[in-house]
Structure 1
Amino acid sequence: KVSVKTGKSISIPCLYESQYVNNVKYLCEGYYWRYCSNAVKTNKPDGSGKYLISDDKRKKIFTVTINQLANENTDYWCMVEIDGWFIISYLFIFLEGTPSLYVDHQKITGYIGENITVRCHHSNSGEMKWCRLGRNCVTGSSGSIDGTTVTAHMRDPNVFTVTMSGLKSENSGWYWCAEADIQIPVYLTVTEKPITSNKYKYCKLSTKLYKYENLIHL
């Protein structure tokens, strides 16, 4: 379950097993999966731009994005086609004026060896946790994910602040903030920090003075 402001967008990662790397993946819309309609699939992009889908076969995750969410956009299924049958996962979207759980940015970038901080804004008082998709979660004030230290606090009202320290390239991937049964996914990209230089190049300007005479006759 995710909570989204009406009119905004949401990206959702869907996991699948390695034997289905080459199978077609779908996002299907409707309350009952047997009667849902295909919104977008990996072998047939959506020309309207309402839906986007991409398949990371190396990580075995396909990602769906729904843009300009309207009141009727609430029930979806992540689906993998298998010889006329499907593996399914249900997705429910709450549309609210102010989401009950959200982050400032769904996609963030960090640098190797440095830290990143994510602020998860929430309106309820349940236990908060920070998880990596398909891996473990950190609850409370500290823990680790894939050997990377994670600290968290709630010093600011209704804000669960998570810091991951000493980032490594393998920390790249999908994470999520969760409160009870509501989650918000966050994609972290960890890269080398760009090299900047304080050296400046100077160029010498040559100014020529031209004297014009007898241009004006009185």
Structure 2
Amino acid sequence: NVSYTDAHIHLGVHSITTISKVSVTAGKSVSIPCLYDSRYMNYVKYLCEGYYWNYCNYVVKTNKPDRSGKYSISDDKNQKIFTVTINQLTNKNTDYWCVVEINGGSDHGESFQLSVSSGYTGENITIRCHHRNSGGMKWCRLGRNCVTKSSGSIDGTTVTIHTTDGLKPEDSGWYWCAEGDIQIPVHLTVTEKLINSKYCKRS
């Protein structure tokens, strides 16, 4: 049940923020976060497949799920992020748009590209975001600032190339790391650690 979009897609400045290029493994799944402006909180969001906006096909909407199981979409209105998931990736699944549907006007969207690499059953593949001599590494929080040097700070949390120090629950959310034009989305969940001790009693 795929159809062409019936409205132009407008590339609104700061309307939608997502990553632009992701390296993924064939046969696996990938989830892409799409950050949107607060004015779109109660609007329908959807995933559109295709390189050009005027030829892309919507494949799943927040009000119309994909029954095939290939695509799924969820909307976190508190974080103002909708997440699209693509399953059973192939090298035909490369170009997409995160879109907010605007009734009576041009839809607002932002594109991203998947670089699909081959994998084999039974092997383990680890994707590392590491620093090479070229110095092109960076770590960013979606919609916020980036760390491009050996260390820096995002929302008060110290970040180095390999670790984040002083994590807080409010640091939870979507991040991405990049080297060159390849970007990898990472969802970070920070929870408090419970300590059980016979010397500590609840009061």
> TM-score, with normalisation over the residues of structure 1?
0.73
Maintained 8 Å contact 2:131/2:137: no
- Asked whether the 8 Å contact 2:139–2:175 carries over to 1, the reply is yes
Alignment of 1:23-172 (within 5 A): 23-84=43-104, 85-97=106-118, 104=126, 119-120=128-129, 125=134, 127-152=136-161, 162-172=162-172
2:133 and 2:182 mapped to 1: Cα distance?
11
1:195 deviation in Å?
A: 3.5
Q: How does 1:174-185 map to 2 (within 5 A)?
A: 174-185=174-185
Secondary structure at the aligned position of 1:68 is classed as coil
Cα 1:195–1:50 change in 2 (3 A) is farther
The question of whether the paired residues in 2 share the 8 Å contact of 1:142 and 1:149 is answered with: yes
Unmatched segments (≥5 aa) in structure 2: 1-20, 120-124
Does the CA-based 8 Å contact 1:126-1:180 persist in structure 2?
A: no
Inter-partner Cα distance in structure 1 for 2:135 and 2:156: 27
Which residue in 2 is equivalent to 1:109?
Answer: none
Aligned to 2:15: none
Structure 1 counterpart of 2:181, which letter?
Answer: D
C-alpha displacement of 1:180: 2.1
Aligned Cα root-mean-square deviation (Å): 2.3
Q: 1:33 to 1:135 in 2, by over 3 A?
A: same
- Is 1:167–1:190's contact at 8 Å kept on the other side of the alignment? yes
Q: CA deviation at 1:194?
A: 3.2
> Residue 129 of structure 1 contacts residue 140 of structure 1 at CA under 8 Å; is this kept in 2?
yes
CA positional deviation for 1:12: 0.5
Q: Which amino acid aligns with 2:110?
A: S
- Higher Cα radius of gyration: 1
Aligned residues: 173
Shift of 1:196: 4.0
**Closer/same/farther in 2, CA of residues 189 and 151 from structure 1, 3 Å limit:** same
Percent of aligned pairs with the same residue? 71
> What is the alpha-carbon distance in structure 2 between the residues aligned to residue 164 and residue 192 of structure 1?
16
- 8 Å CA contact retained: 2:31, 2:85: yes
Counterpart residue identity of residue 189, structure 2:
T
Gaps spanning 5+ residues in structure 1: where? 106-118, 153-161, 200-218
TM-superposed CA distance for 1:91, in Å, is 1.0
- Highest RCO, 1 vs 2 (Cα 8 Å, sep ≥ 6): 2
